Amino acid sequence: MYSFVADQVLGINGLINLSNIVFLVAFSARGVLTLRVLAIVGEGLTLPYYYFQDDKLWPPIFWGAAFMMVNAIRVVAIFLERRPVVLSDREERLYQVAFSSIDKREFLRLVSLARWTDCSPGEVILKKGQHISEAIVVIAGELEAILGNNTRMALRPGQLIGDVSAYSGLASPVDIVAPGPGTLASWDLQHVREFTASRPELRANLLRIVSADLAVKLRDVTTAGPGLAAERIASK
């Protein structure tokens, strides 16, 4: 009995028993990373068992090594995905003023498609009737939307230019000018649609941002007076 127990614990059979204990712990783990690391350890313990048999068992050795490699690749990928997201100063500012509701890692992928623009005082960003092919966000400075009768509405950092018109591909109903220096981030709408096509959660978040921005503008024009509100709402 003693020799049997010793063989199961200390002998070559001990490796396979220890391996199964590790697998049992792995399948009990709640975290994917812990499960994969323990799976690598457990699979590694089985390889000597197969190798030191009288007739080496090459098929399970090969497949065990393959499983270890796949799990190792996924472990590295998980570590890379969990690294802290580092944003540049202007990316951080854009994130804070407009996209703080989006996961930073998704935002980093989205901002990689952005085009950054510095505008000078008096520059016309969009002309009335111009087709809107880009989604534009104000990062710094202020822009103005010039409505009928030379009425102006300020667009502050974090606000979107065009709103519904941009996302529906319509022409701009107003002139957008920069009264002073400012910084903008813009995305080609077609690229945004393609990028979010396989990311429904991100697309939903972007639509919520657009809706919130429009709600703020509606609130602003409502407080400005019924006549002006009607004019500005029509211009959206």
3-state secondary structure the chain: CHHHHHHHHCCHHHHHHHHHHHHHHHHHCCCHHHHHHHHHHHHHHHHHHHHCCCCCCHHHHHHHHHHHHHHHHHHHHHHHHCCCCCCCHHHHHHHHHHCCCCCHHHHHHHHCCCEEEEECCCCEEECCCCECCEEEEEEECCEEEECHHHCEEEECCCCEECCHHHHCCCECCCEEECCCCEEEEEEEHHHHHHHHHCCHHHHHHHHHHHHHHHHHHHHHHHHHCHHHHHHHHHHC
How much is the pLDDT for 22? 92
How much is the pLDDT for 87? 87
Give me the residue spans of the domains in the chain: 1-81, 89-225
- According to CATH, the superfamily of the domain at 89-225 is Jelly Rolls (2.60.120.10)
pLDDT of the chain, 236 residues: tens digit per residue? 555 455 556 667 778 888 889 999 999 998 999 999 999 999 998 998 888 888 889 999 999 999 999 999 999 999 888 888 888 888 899 899 888 888 888 888 888 889 998 988 888 888 887 777 788 888 988 888 877 666 777 888 888 876 555 556 567 777 888 888 888 998 888 888 888 888 888 888 888 887 777 777 666 555 544 444 444 444 44
How much is the pLDDT for 217? 65
- Structure letter (DSSP) for residue 148: G
How much is the pTM? 0.61
